[in-house]
Amino acid sequence: MRRIVALSGGVGGARFLRGLVRATDPKGITVVGNVGDDVDVLGLHVSPDLDSILYALAGVSDDERGWGRADESWTAFGEAGRLGGESWFQLGDRDIGLHLVRTQALGRGEPLSTVTARLVSAFGLDVALLPATDDELRTWIDTPAGSFPFQEWFVARRHRDDVDRVRFEGEETARPAPGVLEAIAAAELVVICPSNPFISIWPILAVAEIREALERRNTPAVAVSPLVGGRAVKGPADRMLDRLAGGTEPVRVATCYPGLVDALVFDESDAEGAGAVERLGIRPVVARTLMRDEAASRALAETVLASV
Ligand code: GDP
Ligand code: CA
């Protein structure tokens, strides 16, 4: 069994993890998930990225919509909206079932990591899924139009504003969730999933002890680029890289993870960027990175496993 730690955001990370659990023994995998996106909706604690991972690995995600659960219905959400409740952040009925369980657990003082572990076993998964932190760590987006809590910018404003800066409220005091540092210390491979560097991976690295443990690692680390042909498959990663990292070539993704990666896997359509990655002292690995289906995810995971 190969012991692997994977840092992941939501959908892009989850797509990759679906391949990783088929390419290697899932019992060896610890996923460290982003919680900077967590949000309170209608009194429910929603952890969108942890849930995208849970749903994808359990095979119950809606891949067409790109988020949430398959076979979803919207009765509770529709009724809440009709009664004047919050309606900017959609929650399906099945999804709400999970949020009720989580919210009740948190309300009686259970840490997020504990309730997440219960959800993992309720879905019958073999991986460990740990939130980066049990503490409150929230992503804020500074834009020319003002500063917004992450979901207000992403969902309510449809990430239309350019991003000047990403901040993480609570980062000074956030501690790694139990098991994160142990998993990093025991890992034979660290993988940074093809997630948005700024809003999915940076909030994990904002937990100082996690970043330090990864800087000190004595095991190889590989990142997978979320860009294909210099464009995000979905979402604002390309715009953000352009504005915050100076471009969308593979090397710009690498510069988001200084001292944290030994190899970068990126798409064959971006192959001309290999030299610049190499000049950073990072091994460039060119592959097909578009995960159209499970077979493509698995092939990409196998490339990552063979890359170092
Ligand atoms: P979120 O939290 O749901 O936004 O998900 P992530 O941050 O984990 O993933 C978003 C990123 O996944 C986007 O930047 C996409 O470009 C990337 N992504 C989605 N599908 C694919 C794919 O098939 N291949 C690659 N390389 N990246 C992908
Ligand atoms: Ca997310």
Mean pLDDT of the residues in the chain: 98
Both tokens of 44, joined, read 């429910």
| Test site for ligand 1: of 17, 200, 244, most ligand atoms within 8 A of the Cβ | 200
User: How many whole angstroms from 279 Cα to the centroid of ligand 2?
Assistant: 31
Residue with CA nearest ligand 1 atom 9: 12
User: How many C-beta atoms surround the C-beta of residue 112 within 10 A?
Assistant: 24
Q: Can you give the pLDDT at residue 293?
A: 95
Q: What percent of the chain has pLDDT over 70?
A: 100
Strand 44-46 versus strand 39-41 pairing type: antiparallel
Query: Residues 116, 117, 122, 125: is their CA dihedral positive or negative?
Result: positive
Q: Tokens 């578009």 identify what position?
A: 290
pLDDT one-digit tens code per residue, 173-220: 999 999 999 999 999 999 999 999 999 999 999 999 999 999 999 999
Give 3-state DSSP helix, strand, coil % of the chain, rounded to 5.
45, 20, 40
Q: Looking at ligand 1, which atom is closest to the CA of residue 266?
A: 26
pLDDT range class, residue 132, cuts 50, 70, 90? very high
Whole-model pTM: value is: 0.98
Q: Looking at ligand 1, which atom is closest to the CA of residue 194?
A: 27
Q: Using a 6 Å cutoff on CB, does residue 226 contact ligand 1?
A: yes
Q: Can you give the pLDDT at residue 141?
A: 98
pLDDT range class, residue 17, cuts 50, 70, 90? very high
What gap in Å lies between CA 169 and CA 171, rounded to an integer? Answer: 6
Compute the average pLDDT of residues 3-18: 98
Q: Can you give the pLDDT at residue 305?
A: 98
What DSSP state is assigned to residue 145? T
| Test site for ligand 1: of 196, 198, 289, most ligand atoms within 8 A of the Cβ | 196
Of 229 and 64, the structure prediction assigns the larger pLDDT to 229
CA dihedral (151, 156, 160, 166) in degrees, to 10, reads -20
Q: Can you give the pLDDT at residue 146?
A: 98
What gap in Å lies between CA 191 and CA 197, rounded to an integer? Answer: 13
Compute the average pLDDT of residues 249-266: 98
What gap in Å lies between CA 300 and CA 308, rounded to an integer? Answer: 14
User: How many whole angstroms from 193 Cα to the centroid of ligand 1?
Assistant: 9
Answer whether 226's CB lies under 8 Å from 12's CB.
yes
pLDDT range class, residue 258, cuts 50, 70, 90? very high
